[in-house]
Structure 1
């Protein structure tokens, strides 16, 4: 199942992670988008892999060892990240969330210093 989590709800979702797991926010935006606006890792690991590169770089997430690792996917508005979460679910990942509203909502709900574009 893929959870739909607003940026303001993300800390609670991450807090519900299995004991001993390191939550991950997977930013699937393009490099130019990362240069425009990005989030600061706070209570989670942050990894940027553009959506189009994910199949080739899936080993960086290691589904065999990290199926229980909570992964919240982030993009600009939440469409690409939902597709990525669905892809990861098909690959055996179990604890997934789409950050609904993406980095745009993040700027509005969590951190007004993050530029909107």
Structure 2
């Protein structure tokens, strides 16, 4: 179950993993750049670089109610992305705290670190 978006901006990697394994998983959006995505990524993620977020990002969402987890390297860009999306009415967006680096450390060591 997704937490109340009015109180939560970030989810830790364990929460993200649980949600991604759920019956109705949220979208998983990687907001890093292509060279980072090519180097390593979380299975099932769609690349929407923050550098062009104002256009392509919105195409990933059909409405403001589509839940999504957004991640980057350490969690700063993904927070910026969800702040932008929430201003646009996409309320069920969450940043993965610690980003792909924490995912690699705590969830899947097969994901390369950089």
Alignment-derived partner of residue 9 in structure 1: 15
Unmatched segments (≥5 aa) in structure 2: 1-5
Q: Deviations over 1:47-96 (max 9, x none)?
A: 1110011112244124xx42111111100000000000000001110111
Give the 4+ runs in structure 1 shifted more than 6 A. none
1:9 shift after superposition: 1.5
Work out the CA distance in 2 between the residues paired with 1:105 and 1:36: 16
Describe the SS at the equivalent of 1:77.
coil
- Quick one: structure 1 residues 88 and 59, their matched pair in 2 at CA, closer, same or farther if it must change by over 3 Å? closer
Matched, 1:113 2:91: no
Alignment-derived partner of residue 33 in structure 2: 30
| Corresponding pairs, count | 108
1:105 shift after superposition: 0.2
Work out the CA distance in 2 between the residues paired with 1:59 and 1:108: 30
TM-score with structure 1 length normalisation? 0.81
Work out the CA distance in 2 between the residues paired with 1:25 and 1:76: 14
Unmatched segments (≥5 aa) in structure 1: none
TM-score with structure 2 length normalisation? 0.83
Work out the CA distance in 2 between the residues paired with 1:61 and 1:114: 24
Describe the SS at the equivalent of 2:105.
helix
Describe the SS at the equivalent of 2:69.
strand
Work out the CA distance in 2 between the residues paired with 1:58 and 1:37: 20
